[in-house]
Amino acid sequence: MACNDENEPLLSGLATPRTQKTNGDRPKKRRFRRVRSAPFADFVPTDGNREAAVPRSGSFLGRLNPSLKKVALFLTLYMGLGTICFYTTRTQIKGDKTNGILDALYFCVVTMTTVGYGDLVPNSDLAKLLACAFVFTGMALVGLVLTKAADYLAEKQEILLVKALHMNQKVGELQVLKEIETNRVKYKFYTTLIILVVLILSGTIFLYKVENLGLVDSFYCVCSTITTLGYGDKSFSTEGGRIFAVFWILASTICLAQFFLYVAEVNTENRQRALVKWVLGRRTTNVDLEAADIDDNGVVGAAEFVLFKLKEMGKICQQDISVIMEEFENLDVDQSGTLSVSDISEAQIC
């Protein structure tokens, strides 16, 4: 995020190397290499010591994302505890019932997702207090845990989507990853949209075939469910329908929430790209050169120009630069203005 510091200097005390001359008057052109990524892709830090890194396990559980493990644990605890509580108080819940354990699990999911059809309602003080407790904890579980897991799963499906879009082309794994990195938010949006359409169609067909609702009523029930309206005039009333609803309601409501989140992210990204295009497309003026001249030596070096453009795009701000410069000064043990292997070694010892 950009900071409101357009009038502040980008760096304090940054020395831009002067252009070297050869043959008296011809400047020597400086060459810049592409910056390589930090080598942390295959290692994860341990909790006890941040400097120690261990390789990822080759087993399935070792390769499973830690967030998914937490999701499975929290969801199992919530569903298990909720089912036990509502099954114990099943006589204090009135409505259309099928199977005791199934109804308790179904009521737990409907409560957690705030759908609240009204086909099952608490009918005692104890049942009402339990419903209040589980609706708040359920909303917290959905907001803090399940949406992160859904975002992670959407990222995993991006590779399949990109490969499907380039099915008739010979595209390597590196090209696929580069394409995903460039258009990550857009592909998340497309992936979630496809999954949402599949969930809407499957729910409509299921209600039409199994619950014997009309086609319009089936689609109406699907829309009122995934938007958590839950009018209650149409719902899952059969035993088979509630087994399907336990999984479908949870998946569809979270998917819709993620879809609107990605809509907002796509809109934000498009505005950011429009700003970048405008910054790179407009002509550089003398006023820009004066603003980009950090050390006030009358010329603008490559590093100064890059920093000026990045700040103008809103990608960095003065606070970001100050933090980075502070780290640089801490690593520059010999105060030479450059970093070497000996500087890094001495800094680690200190």
Q: Is 16 exposed, middle or buried (0-12, 13-18, 19+ CB in 10 A)?
A: middle
Helices 184-209 and 239-281: angle between axes, nearest 10 degrees: 160
The 3-class SS string of 53-87 reads EEECCCCHHHHCCHHHHHHHHHHHHHHHHHHHHHH
| Residues 302 and 336 grouped into a single domain | yes
| Residues 297 and 259 grouped into a single domain | no
Give the C-alpha separation, 350 to 337, whole Å: 19
Ramachandran quadrant class, 314 (left: phi over 0; alpha: psi -120 to 50; beta: rest): left
Positive or negative torsion for Cα 104, 105, 106, 108:
positive
| Residues 156 and 223 grouped into a single domain | yes
How is residue 107 written in tokens? 């009521």
Q: Do residues 56 and 44 lie in contact, with contact meaning Cβ atoms separated by under 8 Å?
A: yes
| Residues 241 and 100 grouped into a single domain | yes
pTM as predicted: 0.64
| Beta-strand pair 21-22/26-27 | antiparallel
Instruction: Indicate whether 39 belongs to any domain.
Output: no
| Residues 258 and 329 grouped into a single domain | no
Q: Give the range of the structural domain holding residue 208, as residue numbers without chain letter.
A: 66-280
Task: Indicate which CATH number applies to the domain containing 224.
Answer: 1.10.287.70
**Domain end residue (candidates: 280, 309, 338):** 280
**Domain end residue (candidates: 262, 280, 298):** 280
| Residues 75 and 216 grouped into a single domain | yes
DSSP-assigned states of every residue in 90-114: GGGEEE--S-HHHHHHHHHHHHHTT
- The domain total for the chain is 2
- What are the φ/ψ torsions at residue 93 (nearest 5 degrees)? -120, 125
Nearest to 229 by CA among 143, 110, 321, 126: 110
| Residues 306 and 161 grouped into a single domain | no
pLDDT in tens, the chain (350 residues): 455 554 454 444 444 444 444 445 555 555 444 444 444 444 334 444 434 333 444 444 445 555 667 777 888 899 999 999 999 999 999 998 999 999 999 999 999 888 988 889 999 999 999 999 999 998 888 777 666 666 666 665 555 555 555 556 666 666 656 655 666 777 788 888 999 999 999 999 999 999 999 999 999 999 999 998 888 888 899 999 999 999 999 889 988 888 888 888 888 878 878 888 888 888 888 888 888 887 778 888 888 888 888 888 888 887 887 888 888 888 888 888 788 888 788 878 76
Instruction: Indicate whether 81 belongs to any domain.
Output: yes
C-alpha dist (Å) from residue 41 to 56, 157, 161, 179, 311: 10, 20, 23, 18, 28
